[in-house]
Amino acid sequence: MNKRRSVYPYIALLLAATLMLASCGGEVYRYSRPVMGTVANVTVVAPDRDVALQAAEAAFAEMARIEKLMSPRLEGSDVSRINRGAAAGPVQVSRETCRVLEAAAALAEETGGAFDVTFVPLGRIWDYRRKPFAPPSDALVVRTKMLVDYRKIVLEPRNRTVRFLRDGMEIGLGALAKGYAVGRAVAALRALGIRDCIVEIGGDLQVSGTRLGRPWITGLRHPRNGGILLSIEMQPGMSVVTSGDYERAAVSRGRRYHHIIDPRTGRPTETFESVSVIAGDPMRADAVATALFVLGEGEGMQFLARHRELQVILVDLQGGVRISRSLRDRVTLFENIPVRWI
Ligand code: AMP
Ligand code: MG
């Protein structure tokens, strides 16, 4: 008798849990696929597997569509056509590429060219994939720097055309295209009625809604030791994007050379180990993370003081961690490291 009575609370609990699950609209499904030179993950809450898979397919299709517009490696992409033709005359591009270029131009202007999508010729002479890696000569850096200048892109949004004012210029949208694709993929899922999801490309992500009624939680990698630095409870709709010096890098004579270039010096930056930015718009978060990476501490802090809507997690070259005060209640540190709340 006693035993039997003690089962009721469990049955009640189970029932409550089932009801909660039902009211939240289903189960969590996760899919992965290679895209944009990395791996994309789509996590959706859906009533069943078929709905989940169909939605994820739409999200992946959206990423592939954007890659086709913005990859410099794909023949016929807007970026390829710009790089091939814009020095000779105006090249017409899609409305979307035009909008991304407008956002890039505004950030280039605000950062005095620290963020600059014309960095590409410099990126090439600092190619970290070359083996053995050797830094280019100072003379080559100086010569190449002359090809990098965002003010020499003429963008005419009305005609959706792009023109270069100098021969030999090239652009790359690597600093913000992933963020843009994340945002479009989330929009595609929402258009299909998926309220609760995460879209992540290479660690950069946006969440929508919740995970069965609780906030989505995401982890940030430690830039050096391979473990997890901290986890963040994500508010619905927010994005987190990280720029780091650890993924695409080469080491030569004890110095680290990586893929983010300061167009003002013509060299890879030596500022932070990683910069994560939390914002509503994932493209904005992506672009700003790269920009802060170039700006470094001093100018970076000034930038952040002008943009209180942005939250950051910064790891400096000594491993020191700085986190926006407004994240205090939503961040859990995984290691016993001192944090400066900024
Ligand atoms: P992310 O990983 O988003 O920080 O973007 C880094 C990528 O942005 C690099 O791999 C380059 O494709 C590109 N990039 C490098 N330096 C700059 C820069 N100064 N301004 C804009 N894009 C850059
Ligand atoms: Mg970026």
Q: Which tens digit of pLDDT belongs to each residue from 203-219? A: 999 999 999 999 999 99
Say what the pTM is: 0.92
Helices (H), 78-154: 78-85, 95-110, 120-125, 138-145
Residues 33, 60 contacting (CB under 8 angstroms): yes
Mutation probe of ligand 1 site: the residue of 119, 126, 283 with most atoms within 8 A of C-beta: 119
What is the maximal distance between C-alpha atoms in the chain? 89
Can you give the pLDDT at residue 185?
A: 98
Rounded to the nearest 10 degrees, how much is the dihedral formed by the CA atoms of 145, 150, 154, 155? 140
Can you give the pLDDT at residue 258?
A: 87
Q: In angstroms, what is the span from residue 334 Cα to ligand 1's centroid? A: 28
> Which atom belonging to ligand 1 lies closest to the Cα atom of 114?
19
* Alpha-carbon distances of 257 from 80, 170, 261, 267, 269, rounded to whole Å: 26, 21, 9, 9, 8
> How far apart are the two ends of the chain, measured CA to CA in Å?
60
Can you give the pLDDT at residue 2?
A: 44
Can you give the pLDDT at residue 5?
A: 54
Question: Could you count the other beta carbons within 10 Å of the beta carbon of residue 213?
Answer: 13
The tally of CA atoms less than 13 A away on the side-chain side of residue 164 is 20
Can you give the pLDDT at residue 42?
A: 98
Listed as ranges, residues in the chain with pLDDT below 50 are 1-4, 19, 22
Distance CA 259, CA 229 (A): 22
Can you give the pLDDT at residue 129?
A: 85
Residue of 198, 189, 194 whose CA lies nearest to 237: 198
Q: 62 burial class (0-12, 13-18, 19+ CB within 10 angstroms)?
A: buried
202 CB within 6 A, ligand 1: no
Q: In angstroms, what is the span from residue 285 Cα to ligand 2's centroid? A: 7
Distance CA 117, CA 296 (A): 18
